[in-house]
Amino acid sequence: MPGSRAIRDEVERQVFTVVDLETTGLDPQEARITEIAAVRVRGADRLGEFATLVAPGVPIPEFITDLTGISDDLVADAPPLRLVLPAFTHFAEDAILVAHNAPFDVGFLRTASIACDHAWPDFRVVDTLALARALLPAGTLPNLRLGTLARYFEAPTDPTHRALADARATAHVLRAFIDRMHASGRHELADLLALGRPPTPGVRERQTTPIG
């Protein structure tokens, strides 16, 4: 029907900025960002990418280097966060922000913006973890980690605990969930925002159950 097509097109015309961070730890009050990457998409089109290492200003713990490959030497010449944040928010401008377990990434970005005296835009946010819980029948997968979802939806990029690879994988997962939402008869942008509404901001769940 023409009306339902127009409603569906609202989602397909919407621009999303899919973001992922690497950090020195899990608590945004104590840890620091070491890498920011984002993929800007509309429908099936990739409009651009943003990626940079960030000088955290503190030593990177050895277990983080083992996990991500990001070391003190690697970030030695990286820009400080106060220079990176304005560039990132400009890249993400006028888009809906997307992340897997969004309270973690958005929480770090909000906290960093306050520390850097940088105005944080009032982004609308979609959490692909919330979409997974809403759109996948219980028991479909053993867990809802990004890597598990990426493999399930046959993402061309495997998450590697590096920000750009993880952002690319999350963008693919987002597209898969939008298709599932349409298939379920829900086509409005408001449906996507409701299904993907992040929970109350807090520390990333992978403290206890890894999901990234």
Beta strands in 135-184 (DSSP E): none
Beta bridge partners of 167: none
Active site residue 90: no
DSSP per-residue letters across 77-117: TPPBHHHHHHHHHHHTTTSEEEETTHHHHHHHHHHHHHHTT
Virtual torsion, Cα 133, 210, 27, 67, nearest 10 deg: -140
Given the residues 90, 100, 161, 187, the one annotated as active site: 161
Judged by DSSP in three states, 145 sits in coil
In a 13 Å sphere around the CA of 173, the CA atoms on its Cβ side amount to: 36
Q: Which residues are catalytic?
A: 161
